[in-house]
Amino acid sequence: MDAPSETERSFRIDLAGTHDLDALAALEAVVFDPPWSPGQLAAALEAPPPGADAGPLTLVIRAGDALAGYALFQRVLDEAELLRLAIGPEHRRRGLGARLLEVGLARLAELGVVRCHLEVAASNQPAIGLYELFGFVPSGLRRGYYPDGDDALLMQRAAPPPGRHES
Ligand SMILES: CC(C)(COP(=O)(O)OP(=O)(O)OC[C@H]1O[C@@H](n2cnc3c(N)ncnc32)[C@H](O)[C@@H]1OP(=O)(O)O)[C@@H](O)C(=O)NCCC(=O)NCCS
């Protein structure tokens, strides 16, 4: 068996809970402008009842007790949208974003999701590079969508057919 990677040894992925709200809000404020409000984040932490066909899926990746990053999806029937993905600046380029995305997409596939959508600033090469690694392809462009004039690139990914490994 392969030795565990540094990521597997030092980091842990969990479903986010309400106790993560303050840490999520703090990271959100560091990474995004404008950040989501605590109210928006709290809604993303409301776990849907078992068997629900829609609702948020929010995963966090922890380094010890500290929150290193999070991924926030919204699922509706067999489709989902990645609304937020963030890794704290001090934890980047160590595979954590990829790990979160891998675990999130696998969880969504278990829930029956066959297509995932996202929107990303066209200038955000780090994120676009990561999404391409997971098979996301461009599906549209909203010119001048962001307040700074940047375009929004729309991307989507069809889940691999059953029996094939995610990513
Ligand atoms: C995008 C983001 C989540 C990537 O997280 P990360 O943990 O640093 O990414 P990983 O280490 O898992 O990188 C996986 C791959 O993505 C690509 N990538 C990630 N960061 C990159 C960068 N700065 N430049 C170029 N490619 C990059 C690479 O292909 C990388 O593989 P490699 O390291 O083997 O070359 C992180 O940079 C971030 O939080 N950015 C700010 C928030 C944001 O833009 N979120 C997405 C839009 S909502």
- Ligand 1: atom nearest CA of 93 is 11
pLDDT, residue 70, reads 98
Q: What is the pTM of this model?
A: 0.92
Residue 88 alpha carbon, nearest atom of ligand 1: 39
Q: Which of 79, 102, 119, 166 is catalytic?
A: 119
Residue 131: active-site member? yes
pLDDT of residue 50: 87
Q: Whose CA is closest to atom 4 on ligand 1?
A: 97
Does residue 8 carry a pLDDT above 70? no
Half-sphere exposure of 129 (CA within 13 A, CB side): 7
Q: Residue 60's closest CA among 87, 98, 90?
A: 87
CA of 96 to the centre of ligand 1 (A): 8
Q: Which residues contact 48 (CB under 8 A, 6 or more apart)?
A: 54, 55, 56
Residue 104 Cα to ligand 1 midpoint, Å, equals 16
Q: How far apart are CA 108 and CA 54, in angstroms?
A: 11
Q: CB within 6 Å of ligand 1 — which residues?
A: 31, 84-87, 92-98, 120, 124-127, 129-130, 133
Q: If we measure between CA atoms, which residue out of 80, 142, 85, 153 comes closest to residue 117?
A: 80
Cβ partners under 8 Å of residue 25, min gap 6: 35, 36, 38, 41
Reduce the DSSP state of residue 165 to 3 states and report it: coil
End-to-end CA distance of the chain: 20
Least confident of 6-15, 53-62, 79-88, 148-157: 6-15
Question: How high is the pLDDT of residue 155?
Answer: 98
Q: Please report the atom of ligand 1 found closest to the CA of residue 120.
A: 47
Distance of CA 33 to the CA centre of its chain: 17
Q: Residue ranges of the domains in the chain?
A: 6-158
Q: What is the torsional sign of CA 38, 44, 49, 52?
A: positive
Pick the CATH number of 6-158 from 3.30.365.10, 1.20.1740.10, 3.40.630.30, 3.20.20.10: 3.40.630.30
Residue 1 confidence (pLDDT): 46
DSSP 8-state assignment for residue 100: H
> 35: which 2 tokens?
């950040």
Name the token pair of 25. 């809000």
Residue nearest to atom 27 of ligand 1 (CA): 126
At 121-130, the pLDDT tens digits run: 999 999 999 9
pLDDT at 9 over 70: no
